Amino acid sequence: MLSKEDNELITRVGPGTPMGNLMRHYWVPAMLSSELPKPDCDPVRVMLLGEKLIGFRDSTGKVGLIQNHCPHRGASLFFGRNEECGLRCVYHGWKFDVDGNCVDMPNEPDESDFKQKLKALTYPCVERGGIVWTYMGPRKTPPPLSDIEVNQLPEDEYEIFPSLCESNWLQSIEGEIDTSHAGYLHFGGIFPEEVEEGTFLHYSVKDRAPRYSVVDTEYGVMYGAYRPAQPGYQYWRIANFMFPFITQTPEGVLGKSLITNFWVPMDDYHTMAYIIVKKPKDGTVRLPIQGTSDKYPPIAAPLLPNTTDWFGRFRSVYNAANDYGIDRERQRNYDYTGIEYLPIQDRAMQESMGAIYDRTQEHLAVSDVMVIRVRRRLIAAARALAEKQVIPPGVDNPEVYRSRSGGIILPEGADWIAATKDLREKSGVLSEESRCD
């Protein structure tokens, strides 16, 4: 369990907090490019790392992320007019470009040079792979964007599933790196005899208590969870945590699978998830599992229409207000949870802990070894930055993010790290022969 002090340190992400300062050293996803569909479109409210910001696309198509309150007298720039390469506050007409420069101050005398002395807070943005990335850190020249594989693929080759989580970002991270929960929460209603022998899913439901090996990496932490496969072999699920809030889940075949999840803190109590999955050729939305079952939960959970408030983007139809759509008859007679969609099953568990779980009350076991290691790395990195100004892992080394996750069958006693090195460290876009269709 964590001490009260460490629980505060690792969960709080607002301006000036140790963990918030750590995250600001990285480029972070702010929104989808599709949320700003054309030049001079409507501005969007964006809550990010505890800051209220306004996203807008100017007349040239460039994206800006600007402070919510106009520097003049504090009116919200959400109500601004997006016109002629700037966002104009409708209170007094002051206008700001994507770099925060005041380009017009029409209620001041012509001879006034005050606009030359004024600048709004903005954060630099770049678009890559359908995501607007922003840098909120201290450097005048930002570090390079990470070489994570989704930043190298054409947008038509993968699907992005955004969703709002009403809980702290760390609860989502810890849910993703806890592989043993899948055998119950997601596969609990699936039995070995219902799945084709020799498949990953068959081995997962035949032995729901994997063993673990966990190692630190240049980008974060990697685990290998293993269980018996055919005689003389073991099935390994290999997955990653990447600084500051990225996970790669172990579904699909290692070297062929591409699943990347971003758990972006909006504030201490809300997380924006971006789940990125390789798009199959037949257009069916699914995780790239090996082995099928009619009971395997679908991933594409329905969303409510977006609203314009701070937490109105990408909200699930199934949420705490309707108990995540739980069907008790379904739970009794068909599957394990009675909750239909895989991400909603996760969210129900993570949000049911409360907005920020009190980790001084938990009792960790052997199966929590990856959770423990990730916490240690995050706390150590945040303290090293705060106390010794040590730059967090991966910030200046974008190439360390060239990694994949997935499943593989290995002989018993094999060195899993050495045996999977080439498959894990494949870089560049997915080749035709390695695509997971």
Contacts 24+ apart (CB under 8 A), 374-380: 374/173, 374/174, 374/177, 374/220, 374/221, 374/241, 375/2, 375/6, 375/10, 377/216, 377/220, 377/221, 377/241, 377/243, 378/10, 378/19, 378/22, 378/243, 378/244, 379/6, 379/9, 379/10
Angle between helices 4-11 and 369-388 (to 10 degrees): 80
pTM above the 0.75 mark?
yes
Q: Which structure tokens are listed for 292?
A: 């099928």
Architecture of domain 27-135: 3-layer Sandwich (2.102)
Residue 428, pLDDT score: 41
Which regions of the chain are under pLDDT 50?
A: 285, 428-437
Cβ–Cβ under 8 Å, residues 223 and 6? no
| Domain 149-429 coded CATH 3.90.380 | yes
Over residues 134-189, the pLDDT tens digits come to: 999 999 999 999 999 888 877 777 889 999 999 999 999 999 999 999 999 999 99
Strand, coil or helix: what is 2?
coil
In one-letter notation, the amino acid at residue 355 is: A
In one-letter notation, the amino acid at residue 277 is: V
Residue limits of CATH 3.90.380 in the chain: 149-429
Residue limits of CATH 2.102.10.10 in the chain: 27-135
